[in-house]
Chains A and B, each alone.
Chain A
């Protein structure tokens, strides 16, 4: 039993490759369409930092049986020729991927505890067309401001085996109401071909707001794609505000605002005027913020609530903001409730006060020490 407890596990330190082992393959990816009975040749550049490194080529993936190499092994940096012999037919349509890989061959004579080898793989993506008619569509648009033109982009890919004819249309909706139909020219698209189309749309007769665009293509089958776009105007809207404030001490009042413009808005801030029965009772301004297009932010201000009594106050919140060369304001009357405040000091204030006291004491201590030192010298 005692002998068993002292069995040794030996790991020798016979290493040759402690510094670096790099391997690369280029190009990193190839995309092609399936073509029956066609033979294609690709050249991959293999790079390694070890000119004597033996490398092994391999192919993985569901179509790897159609891959052939000019040689299975290379030494050091070199090029590798990959031949892809497509069959007459591939039954499964859609995307397929073959991984062309190169791997370092392990030197079995070298002993190490845990060594490493590197493999790099470059995918060859093969698209097999769908039987019959099959169209894929990518529809893009963007937000604008009132009066600015908007562009609609269509990318259409015929991924079926048959050629297609169609006339793309885009319907513009405001809510459920169709406002307009935009037609493109009629197009013919051969199998495996793609086309990108652009249509400029004049928004001059459209007011600001949210709209919906639905692109429709009828090529025997109907394909649709829906996008939302916004037409903006220079406006900042009041979204929310602090509705309840404790009486006593300095308190925070926050106003959440949202840009309805497609450009940056500068210096957006709020002025809050509290009213009582006699009129204006107290007012303050929040800190200003810049708003990115269509973004939402909170502006805030702190004010002394000691003079307020418990109850509801009317407050006029006026938002002021600037875009391009003009400034605008928007006012809204709201109601804010002042409630009984907590008599306890917030822990943040306690910490700040303690911090200040400590700093003062330290300062006095060093001053005293300095003065004593000088007195001794004299």
Chain B
């Protein structure tokens, strides 16, 4: 009991000293100085894109014996041929801080890329994340279209918002049995420009 009273007295003394100290310090103030500082910054806009999957390879293969052609796409299908399946197309990501337009073109057409009788070289653009591109101002639909050697507008307003900034370009090729042989290559160019 006596111990409790002792702690209580000590506590009262400490609080009293603190109050005295506060009062003393406050009375020393002779004025009140206020100052403001302006913080200025400009966030510059940047057009920036990224191919998170930048190449497609089906490896080496051939058209099955007895077939006139084989069809390969990037959605996991290899028909009438023995190439390795590919399940992902080219994925473009808008990593800048503004919406952009995307134009696409290939370096070759079906004849120069694959050759033979009735080759096919087409692409399909889709949102890889919801609402990344609302398909306005696009010549591409959710179906495969023949590729283009000149720029075509793939997406007029490609969003930069997180979780809504990825589109995927799937590729479909038809390889005739009399196609060109050896390593066949092409390059797809994606051009990003700040949206108006």
Contacts and interface: CB of A to CB of B under 8 A. Distances in A.
B183 interface: yes
Given A18-B55, A25-B48, A27-B44, A116 B90 contact: yes
A262 to B, nearest CB: 31
A115 B186 contact: yes
Q: Place the interface of chain A in its size category.
A: 35 or more
Contacts of B171: 114
Interface string B33-58: 00000000000111111111111111
A252 to B, nearest CB: 35
Interface stretch (B3-11, B19-27, B63-71, B129-137): B63-71
The 5 closest A-B pairs by CB, nearest first: A24-B48, A22-B50, A26-B46, A28-B194, A28-B45
A120 B181 contact: no
Interface string B92-126: 00011010100000000000001000000000000
A84 interface: no
B51 A118 contact: yes
Interface residues of B, number: 50
B165 interface: no
Contacts of A13: 57, 59
A98 B85 CA distance: 43
Given A116-B90, A120-B192, A26 B44 contact: yes
A2 B65 CA distance: 8
B187 interface: yes
Interface string B52-92: 11111111111101110000000000000001000000100
Interface string A155-180: 00000000000000000000000000
Interface string A18-58: 11111111111100000000000000010101000000000
Interface stretch (A4-12, A272-280, A345-353): A4-12
Interface string A93-105: 0000001010100
Given A9-B179, A11-B59, A116 B191 contact: no
A32 B26 CA distance: 57
Given A5-B66, A9-B114, A11-B83, A115 B54 contact: yes
Interface of B: 44-63, 65-67, 83, 90, 95-96, 98, 100, 114, 171, 175, 177-194
A75 interface: no
A5 B58 CA distance: 20
B193 A123 contact: yes
Interface in A61-87: none
Contacts of B190: 116-119
A9 B185 contact: no
Contacts of B114: 9
A73 B45 CA distance: 23
Contact of A11 (B52, B58, B189, B192): B58
A10 B183 contact: yes
A9 B187 CA distance: 18
A113 B194 contact: no
28 contacts: A2-B65, A5-B66, A7-B62, A8-B60, A8-B61, A8-B62, A8-B181, A9-B62, A10-B61, A11-B57, A11-B83, A12-B60, A18-B55, A19-B52, A22-B48, A22-B49, A24-B48, A49-B50, A101-B191, A103-B189, A113-B57, A114-B171, A114-B186, A115-B55, A115-B185, A116-B51, A116-B55, A122-B194
